[in-house]
């Protein structure tokens, strides 16, 4: 130290000593002396001049000089070890916000998040935790801050957006609705709330929210609502780098990612479950069912499961680089040999699944995928039924209508032959370019061995290439196919399960017994014009019948309908999710006509005491409803029907009065039997 400076220090003239040291170019000594004199801002300035970033930033904060701190910050984070030491020092003295910035700057996301949380910056903490894959931690941070600031709009919007990103739509709606009408964040909340209400089917609430949003100036740009979306989606669960979102549905999002550990492409399927009355439990059950199915299956024609992440929950699947059969069919026609090769691969996968007691129940082109080598893989076991195959699957309409077996359409139990029908349906589409509507054409109803014969008994191709209802036969679409090929395909899609091959292996053997051409030789004759069918049903689809319920003209079944409102939708959802054969079957929600469709129940009002078996069935059906939080409220002869075979059905009723309870349901069931006994 300069002698003159040292003398001033001994005389405790610290500011004069610091200024003299600065004037003589000894910035390090000047910084230390200014600090001793408690002039922290000037101490920071001189530390900055001395390139002593580790002292400059804390001193700038002591001197309340954000400008100097900002100058020191980028230099300090360039040295990770030194930055961590400074962050630890700042944490100890309570500068949590700056400590968090330093930790974030050197890549310590989790530690930074905790520091931001201590600084009261819950939104920033949640963003970092989500980016690290800790979604649960992110939500807990926001919820904890909301307990301290329950009316803070920015926190509510952040939590609502987080819940919505991961499919917790019902919870997101509850949070977003808490944003005050006069809060600055109300517009951002409504921007998220409108699509959420739409997903839940709450049409009237959506209209009201949209009107309010329009009055406030319309939708907020996504970056204004979710400023960290890009960084959040950069990595999932701390390991999977996002490439793009491939698909989404009410139950899951599928995201193409790169595994940061293995360096390979994967598909991350993230659970998303929501419903107007908490159907997330049902969707989650299906998701977990897929985990069980894929975990049990190890077959070269099934999409491999790489990992299961319970914190999502999410599945990590091998990436199918060549897309789906649905995309393949949209691009170009397939040679019959290639079509049969794909069908046989799917049958091989199903044979293994059936052997382990798993029925797929949703065979369709979108669930048939191809890996980078072009190998056919069957995927999406989300609606699979795991059971002992000595019994059939629980009744209920589960699957995709265009490829669904007749028994599934009618709500009857699915079996291994239902999956065989699905393979026949996609094979028919691959060969003809048209979807089958559910049955083999008339004139090919007799079956002899593995060959179906025409009414003339000849194996020659029929005079027309067009089957019943204007549907093209495989032999009508390809020059080198004949009635033998038609017969095998029609056997797979026979209306009666007894007329189909015994199992997937028998179906595979039947297809392999014939030679299929390896070229696309279309018939020269013009194909019949397809009837345009709307994807959305209209009122024309239902034909009124004076004798009883309306008739669904597409499927020939009798239907009863109820006006669509949030309460009826929630109630119908509970009936559908309960999935019990004694409950009236829910068919669809027709938003075009604002009605809910149900299958017309069979039978007449019960006129005698329920038998023990009938009473047990009704109790079981009620228990299913009660487990889902739904009370029936109308257990009476008008809603308990019995058909000629003694099968009992509990009919759907409009939403009950608010006083309906589970106990009253059970009491009404008991009185139903007791009352009938008294009358007899």
Of residues 578 and 200, more confidence is placed in: 578
Looking at every residue in the chain, the average pLDDT score rounds to 78
CB atoms within 10 A of CB 524: 6
326 lies in a domain?
Answer: no
- 345 and 408 together in one domain: yes
CB 553 within 8 A of CB 543: yes
pLDDT at site 441: 43
Co-location of 214 and 141 in the same domain: yes
Please tell me the distance from the alpha carbon of residue 252 to that of residue 272, in angstroms, as a whole number. Answer: 5
State yes or no: pLDDT of 338 exceeds 90. Answer: yes
Residue among 317, 158, 314, 138 at smallest CA distance from 236: 314
> Which of the listed residues 318, 345, 369 is the one where a domain comes to its end?
318
40 has pLDDT over 90:
no
Distance CA 118, CA 113 (A): 9
Which pLDDT score, from 0 to 100, does residue 105 have? 87
Residue 455: predicted pLDDT: 32
Distance CA 502, CA 498 (A): 8
pLDDT level of residue 286 (50, 70, 90 thresholds) = low
Instruction: Return the SS3 of 407.
Output: helix
Tell me how crowded residue 218 is: count the other CB atoms within 10 A of its CB: 12
Q: Which of 47, 46, 125, 41 has the alpha carbon at shortest distance from 86?
A: 47
3-class DSSP state of 373 = coil
The pLDDT confidence band at residue 289, using thresholds 50, 70 and 90, is low
- Interval 535-556 mean pLDDT: 66
Kindly report whether the global pTM for this prediction surpasses the value 0.85. no
Determine, yes or no, domain membership for 528. no
User: Distance between CA atoms of 40 and 306, rounded to whole angstroms?
Assistant: 56
Q: What is the mean pLDDT of residues 386-398?
A: 40
For 173-213, how does the pLDDT look when each residue is reduced to its tens digit (9 = 90+)?
A: 888 989 998 889 988 889 888 888 877 667 777 888 888 88
| CATH number of domain containing 350 | 1.10.510.10
Cross-sheet strand order for the sheet of 314-318? 235-236, 240-248, 252-259, 265-271, 314-318, 305-309
Question: How many domains would you assign to the chain?
Answer: 4
Residues 350, 312: one domain? no
pLDDT score at 487: 92
| Backbone dihedral angles phi then psi of residue 258, each to the nearest 5 degrees | -115, 125
pLDDT of residue 510: 94
- Please give the pLDDT value at position 401: 62
- Domain edge (last residue) among 225, 243, 274: 225
pLDDT, residue 533, reads 44
The token pair at 267 is 């598909």
Neighbours of 216 (CB within 10 A): 14
Per-residue pLDDT at 575: 85
Contact criterion met (CB below 8 Å) for 105 and 87: no
Structure tokens given for 67: 């400008």
% of the chain residues with pLDDT over 70: 79
- Looking at the structure, tell me whether residues 471 and 588 fall in a common domain: no
Residues 196 and 308 in one domain: no
Q: Does residue 296 share a domain with residue 247?
A: yes
Burial degree of 607 (CB within 10 A; 0-12, 13-18, 19+): exposed
User: What stretches of 63-185 show up as alpha helix (H) in DSSP?
Assistant: 66-77, 80-92, 96-105, 109-118, 122-131, 135-148, 153-165, 169-176
* Bridge partner residues of 318 (DSSP): 266
Identify whether the C-beta of residue 429 lies closer than 8 Å to the C-beta of residue 329: yes
* CATH classification of the domain holding 157: 1.25.40
| Residue 460 is assigned to a structural domain of this protein | yes
Residue 343 and residue 466 share a domain? yes
Which residue do the tokens 């027709």 mark? 590
Tell me the mean pLDDT in the region 263-275.
Answer: 73
Q: Are 562 and 603 in contact (CB under 8 A)?
A: no
pLDDT band at 677 (very low <50, low <70, confident <90, very high): very low
Is 506 found in the same domain as 441? Answer: yes
Separation between Cα atoms, residue 451 and residue 486, nearest integer Å: 9
Q: Which residue among 284, 318, 352 closes a domain?
A: 318
Instruction: With respect to residue 73, please indicate whether it lies within any of the assigned structural domains.
Output: yes
Region for 396 from its dihedrals, namely left if φ exceeds 0, alpha if ψ lies in -120 to 50, beta otherwise = left
Is residue 524 in some structural domain?
A: no
Those residues with Cβ within 8 angstroms of residue 3's Cβ, 6 or more apart along the chain or in another chain: none
What are the structure tokens assigned to 118, written together? 């201590």
What is residue 247's predicted lDDT score, i.e. its pLDDT? 72
Do the domain assignments include residue 360? yes
pLDDT digits (tens, 9 = 90+) for 415-426: 889 899 999 999
- The tens digit of pLDDT for each residue in 656-675 reads 655 678 888 888 888 887 65
Highest mean pLDDT among 48-62, 266-280, 303-317, 450-464: 48-62
Task: Tell me which of 396 and 135 has the higher pLDDT.
Answer: 135
Q: Which of 263-267, 283-287, 289-293 has the lowest mean pLDDT?
A: 283-287
Is residue 180 domain-shared with residue 67, that is, in the same domain?
yes
- pLDDT confidence of residue 82: 86
CA dihedral 217, 221, 224, 230 (to 10 degrees): 170
The span from the CA of 117 to the CA of 482, in Å, is 72
- Answer whether residue 532 is part of any domain: no
* Token pair listed for 278: 């908490």
pLDDT, average across residues 104-123: 88
> By residue range, what is the domain housing residue 570?
542-680
Looking at residue 437, its pLDDT comes to: 53
Nearest CA to 225 out of 130, 161, 145, 139 is that of 161
Same domain, 286 and 310: yes
Q: How confident is the model over 366-388, as pLDDT tens digits?
A: 889 998 888 999 987 754 444 44
Task: Tell me whether residue 518 is in a domain.
Answer: no
Is there a single domain that holds both residue 257 and residue 387? no
Does 511 score more than 70 pLDDT?
yes
pLDDT at residue 226 is higher than 80: no
Give the H or E element holding residue 587: strand 586-590
Angstrom distance (rounded) from CA 651 to CA 605: 10
Q: What pLDDT sits at residue 676?
A: 43
Residue 299 token pair: 């077959």
155 and 197 co-located in one domain: yes
The residue with greater pLDDT, 466 or 294, is 294
């Amino acid at each position: 130290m300069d002698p003159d400076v040292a003398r001033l220090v001994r005389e405790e003239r610290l500011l004069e000593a610091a200024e003299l040291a600065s004037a003589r170019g000894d910035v390090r000594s000047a910084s230390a002396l200014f600090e001793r004199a408690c002039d922290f801002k000037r101490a920071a300035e001189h530390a900055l001049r001395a390139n002593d970033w580790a002292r400059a930033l804390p001193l700038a904060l002591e001197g309340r000089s954000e400008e100097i701190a900002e100058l020191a910050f980028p230099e300090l984070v360039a040295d990770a070890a030194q930055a961590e030491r400074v962050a630890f020092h700042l944490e100890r003295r309570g500068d949590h916000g700056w400590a968090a910035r330093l930790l974030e700057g050197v890549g310590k996301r989790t530690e930074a998040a905790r520091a931001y949380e201590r600084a009261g910056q819950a939104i920033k903490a949640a963003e970092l935790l989500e980016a690290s894959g800790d979604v649960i931690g992110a939500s807990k941070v926001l919820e904890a801050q909301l307990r301290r600031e329950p009316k803070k709009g920015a926190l509510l919007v952040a939590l609502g957006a987080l819940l919505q990103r991961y499919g917790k739509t019902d919870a997101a709606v509850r949070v977003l609705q808490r944003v005050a009408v006069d809060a600055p964040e109300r517009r951002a909340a409504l921007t998220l709330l409108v699509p959420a209400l739409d997903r839940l089917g709450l049409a009237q609430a959506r209209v009201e929210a949209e009107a309010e949003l329009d009055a406030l100036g319309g939708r907020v740009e996504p970056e204004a609502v979710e400023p960290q979306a890009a960084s959040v989606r950069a990595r999932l669960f701390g390991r999977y780098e996002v490439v793009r979102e491939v698909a989404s549905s009410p139950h899951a999002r599928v995201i193409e990612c790169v595994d940061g550990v293995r360096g390979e492409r994967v598909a991350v399927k993230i659970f998303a479950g929501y419903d107007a009355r908490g159907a997330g439990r049902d969707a989650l059950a299906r998701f977990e069912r897929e985990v069980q199915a894929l975990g049990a299956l190890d077959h070269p024609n099934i999409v491999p499961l790489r990992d299961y992440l319970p914190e999502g929950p999410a599945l990590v699947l091998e990436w199918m680089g060549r897309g789906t059969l649905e995309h393949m069919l949209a691009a170009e026609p397939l040679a019959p040999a290639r079509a049969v090769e794909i069908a046989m691969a799917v049958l091989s996968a199903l044979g293994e699944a059936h052997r382990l007691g798993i029925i797929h129940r949703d065979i369709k082109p979108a669930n048939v995928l191809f890996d980078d080598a072009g190998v056919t893989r069957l995927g999406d076991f989300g609606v699979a039924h795991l059971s002992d195959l000595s019994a059939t699957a629980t009744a209920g309409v589960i699957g995709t209508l265009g490829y669904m077996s007749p028994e599934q359409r009618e709500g009857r139990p699915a079996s291994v032959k239902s999956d065989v029908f699905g393979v026949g349906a996609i094979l028919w589409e691959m060969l003809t370019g048209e979807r089958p509507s559910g049955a083999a054409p008339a004139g090919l109803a007799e079956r002899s061995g593995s060959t179906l014969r025409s009414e003339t008994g000849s194996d020659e191709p029929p005079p027309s290439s067009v089957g019943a209802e204007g549907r093209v036969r495989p032999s009508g679409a390809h020059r080198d196919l004949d009635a033998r090929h038609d017969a095998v395909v029609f056997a797979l899609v026979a209306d009666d399960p007894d007329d189909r091959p015994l199992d997937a292996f028998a179906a595979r053997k039947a297809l392999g017994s014939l030679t299929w051409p390896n070229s696309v030789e279309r018939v020269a004759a013009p194909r019949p014009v397809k009837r345009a069918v709307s994807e959305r049903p209209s009122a024309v689809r239902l034909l009124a019948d004076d004798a009883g319920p309306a008739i669904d003209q597409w499927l020939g079944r009798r239907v009863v309908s109820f006006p669509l409102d949030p309460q009826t939708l929630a109630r119908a959802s509970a009936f559908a999710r309960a999935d019990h054969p004694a409950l009236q079957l829910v068919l669809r929600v027709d938003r075009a006509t604002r009605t809910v469709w149900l299958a017309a129940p069979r039978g007449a009002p019960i006129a005698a005491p329920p038998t023990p078996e009938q009473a047990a069935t009704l109790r079981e059906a009620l228990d299913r409803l009660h487990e889902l939080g739904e009370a029936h409220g109308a257990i009476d002869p008008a809603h308990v029907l019995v058909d000629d075979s003694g099968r009992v059905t509990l009919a759907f009723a409009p939403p009950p009065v608010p006083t309906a309870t589970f106990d009253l349901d059970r009491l009404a069931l008991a009185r139903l039997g007791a009352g009938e006994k008294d009358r007899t």
